[in-house]
Amino acid sequence: MVKDDAYYASRRQFLQTLAATGAIAAADLAWWEDPFLGPRRARAAASTVRFQFSVPEPLRISLVESLVERFNKAQSDVEVKVEFVPQAQARQKLITAVSAGSPPDCCQIWDNWVGEFDGMNALEDLTARIKEWKHYKDTVPVAWQTVTVKGKLLSFPWVVTNDAIFIRTDRAKEYGLKIPGPDWTWDDFLTLAKGYTKPDKNQYGFGMRGAGTWAVLYATEFLYSNGAQVLKDGKVVINSPESVQAFEWYIDLIRKHKITPPSVATDGYRQIVEGFGRGVTSMYLHNSGSVEEQKKFVGEPNFATLPLPLGPAKKRASFYFSETLTMFKAAKNKEGAWKFMTWLMDDEPNYDYAKTLGLLPTRQALADRPHYKHPGYQGFVRSFPFSIVSPYLAYAGWGGKLDSEGVPLVQQAMLGKISPKECLDKLAEVLTKNMA
């Protein structure tokens, strides 16, 4: 009997404990994001904003963490929690989060993703709010173009960048080469690249990109110098005669003139930046994001930037890209997210972000600051008049296809497996098939 009583008593205790645990857990669910009850209740007054950031390089992590900390300390209504996601997975993670109905409140995304997310009807239309925003008119119009889809403003263009050619000035002096002026031509480019190329010293004139989406984009910028276009009157015309002619010239840089490193077909962002930094190449095409890095690699006085050279058609284009701040339709705290995003776009936070990363602010007042008068930025500043939004942003379906089909095609042309014309014909096919 004693044994039985003890048994029932312990079962009752067990059930009571279970019920109590359940009650605590249920009460806890409301604050699921935090691990402990006490501190959560103390902070319950501040609403939480989930902010996703997708380029977790050490410099960017510390920069974003310090900005978030400054924001959280500057006010008590909103508490921002930053989630770092590797860039390679960010797009897919965001898309699956949107599909599952649980995206972050706001996040940093590239402007070429905006169209995709709009296609999923996932982004909050910020047009009305942005037009009322105090710095709306101070932001350069082309920056707004990078985040406008079907007439709707869907993001803040946080920082912007375009492309220009980095050139080793010290090595030009060493080899007796003349650095051309900003209105240089393809011929000047080729002469300079040949002068820099010394294969026995493992030195090459131009660090061309062969891997990643930008392998297609950088090639396209050269095509634009010959009057080519990607889209004309709603039709894909990337395989037009002027485009083919320009691409043949571009591929000849590798196959005929041999002014690029032998690894060109697999050289991505890191390889072209490091190749220049380590002295393997003396020119490369990139955005302003590597200016600060090259100041450390090759030294501030040893390089300059020039706009892309003029092609036979006396034209040229530099593609604008912006890193944007956007808010999701399914955001749980839209007011908090708006408050945080507008704070990031304010003078000092915006300037600090752009300056630290070597990117260009989209607000004129910040772009006019002395930091951007440095020669390392001049190629980019001089490219503003002919900078355009990337033509590949026209269709959401083109984003992934450039990677999965466009890049292998360009690589095949680089390696001589197909002719430049075949490459552009096939690329045109891919683009036409995915105009949705």
Closer CB to other proteins, 278 or 373, in the complex: 278
The set of residues, in sequence order, having a beta carbon less than 8 Å from that of 124 and lying 6+ positions away, is 154, 326, 327, 328, 329, 331, 334
> CA-CA distance, 237 to 243, in Å (whole number)?
8
- Per-residue contact string for residues 279-318; x = within reach of other proteins by CB under 8 A: -x--------------------------------------
408 binds other proteins (CB under 8 A): yes
Closer CB to other proteins, 139 or 155, in the complex: 155
182 binds other proteins (CB under 8 A): no
Closer CB to other proteins, 199 or 301, in the complex: 199
- Considering only the stretches 14-22, 39-47, 220-228, 398-406, report the one whose residues sit in contact with other proteins under the rule CB under 8 A: 398-406
Shortest gap between Cβ of 262 and other proteins (angstroms)?
4
100 binds other proteins (CB under 8 A): no
Task: Give yes or no for a contact between 406 and 427, defined as CB atoms under 8 angstroms apart.
Answer: yes
Token digits of residue 343 = 């704070």
Percentages helix, strand, coil for the chain, rounded to the nearest 5?
Answer: 55, 15, 30
Binding to other proteins in span 227-266, by CB under 8 A? 261-266
- Considering only the stretches 2-10, 235-243, 322-330, 414-422, report the one whose residues sit in contact with other proteins under the rule CB under 8 A: 414-422
Closer CB to other proteins, 264 or 306, in the complex: 264
Closer CB to other proteins, 177 or 208, in the complex: 208
Provide the CB-side half-sphere exposure for 393 (13 A, CA). 21
Q: Which of 43, 40, 11 is nearest to 28 (CA)?
A: 40
Residue identified by tokens 């006019």 is: 368
Closer CB to other proteins, 70 or 278, in the complex: 278
Binding to other proteins in span 205-234, by CB under 8 A? 210-211
> CA-CA distance, 143 to 345, in Å (whole number)?
13
The set of residues, in sequence order, having a beta carbon less than 8 Å from that of 33 and lying 6+ positions away, is 48, 81
Shortest gap between Cβ of 415 and other proteins (angstroms)?
5
Burial state string for 161-182 with b = 16 or more CB within 10 A and e = fewer than 16: bbbbbbbbbebbeeeebeebee
Task: Give yes or no for a contact between 331 and 130, defined as CB atoms under 8 angstroms apart.
Answer: no
Give the residue, chosen from 56, 119, 180, 227, that forms a contact with other proteins under the rule CB under 8 A.
119
Give the residue, chosen from 275, 358, 361, 391, that forms a contact with other proteins under the rule CB under 8 A.
275
> CA-CA distance, 358 to 352, in Å (whole number)?
10
Task: Give yes or no for a contact between 284 and 193, defined as CB atoms under 8 angstroms apart.
Answer: no
Give the residue, chosen from 195, 400, 419, 422, that forms a contact with other proteins under the rule CB under 8 A.
400
Give the residue, chosen from 124, 163, 242, 267, that forms a contact with other proteins under the rule CB under 8 A.
267
Helices (H), 256-314: 269-277, 291-297
Closer CB to other proteins, 67 or 90, in the complex: 90
85 binds other proteins (CB under 8 A): no
Q: What residues make contact with other proteins under the rule CB under 8 A?
A: 89, 92, 95-96, 99, 116, 119-121, 199-200, 202, 210-211, 261-267, 275, 278, 280, 396-397, 399-401, 403-404, 407-409, 411-412, 414-415, 417, 436
